[in-house]
Amino acid sequence: MQKSLHQAKFYKSTPNLLGLPADKGLEVALVGRSNTGKSTTLNTICGQHSLARTSKTPGRTQHLVVFEIDEHRRLVDLPGFGYAKVSRKTQLAWEKEINKYLNFRKSLAGLVLIMDIRHVLQPIEDELLNWCAEANLKTHVLLNKADKLSRGASKSTLLQVEKRLCSLIERGDLSVSLFSGKEKTGCEDIWLKLADWFSQELQD
């Protein structure tokens, strides 16, 4: 998987679903609140420095940004939920596009939900996880920015999150792991997930 991810290339950026490539093959999307490190995570797991654009200021990713791994497999970097500095109207428009994407994208094989380990399970994240469970969408949660906490505090947050989500985890479509896009730690679990999701039968 790592080798294929290394070859991922920018494919296109689009403000709405109409601009996405044909709904074929398999796609994995990175989703989360604004500034949790989605774009940094994408770069880290692909072993590339500047594939997706990152920024210190929230609201960097304003489109659905598609990266092609090969002819049949893609990663999609989604705009962050809840970015306060754009108008409410723009926020709602993004949320609507993300909701449509999650609801209707047939090639969506799995979702990577990025949370900031210092602010886990915010209401929008809870809502998203419940929706994923209802939709039977395979989801992996990365508790990102683990470098900001001590090892002990990171581990204890992981246990708390797993406890809160135990009923969803037991059903089998949800998993959680520690991650740091900055220190490039915690990649193994997500590589295994991607290898699994991307080996499903292709949508045509």
Q: Decide: is 61 part of the binding site for Mg ion (CB under 5 A).
A: yes
Is the CB of 25 or the CB of 194 nearer to ligand GTP? 194
Backbone angles phi, psi at 168, to 5 degrees: -75, -40
Is the CB of 25 or the CB of 146 nearer to ligand GTP? 146
The total of other beta-carbon atoms located within 10 Å of residue 121's CB is: 15
Q: Let me know: does 187 contact 44? Beta carbons within 8 Å.
A: yes
Q: Decide: is 107 part of the binding site for ligand GTP (CB under 6 A).
A: no
Q: How far is the CB of 9 from ligand GTP (least distance, A)?
A: 18
Q: Decide: is 35 part of the binding site for ligand GTP (CB under 6 A).
A: yes
Binding piece for ligand GTP, criterion CB under 6 A, among 1-9, 37-45, 97-105, 131-139: 37-45
Q: Decide: is 89 part of the binding site for ligand GTP (CB under 6 A).
A: no
Q: Decide: is 44 part of the binding site for Mg ion (CB under 5 A).
A: no
Backbone angles phi, psi at 8, to 5 degrees: -60, 140
Q: Decide: is 189 part of the binding site for ligand GTP (CB under 6 A).
A: no
Q: Decide: is 177 part of the binding site for ligand GTP (CB under 6 A).
A: no
Q: 97: which 2 tokens? A: 């596009």
Q: Give me the long-range contacts of 55-59 (CB less than 8 A, separation at least 24).
A: 58/34, 58/83, 58/84, 58/85, 59/34, 59/35, 59/83, 59/85, 59/86
Q: What is the binding site for ligand GTP (CB under 6 A)?
A: 32, 34-40, 54-56, 58-61, 80, 144-145, 147-148, 180-182
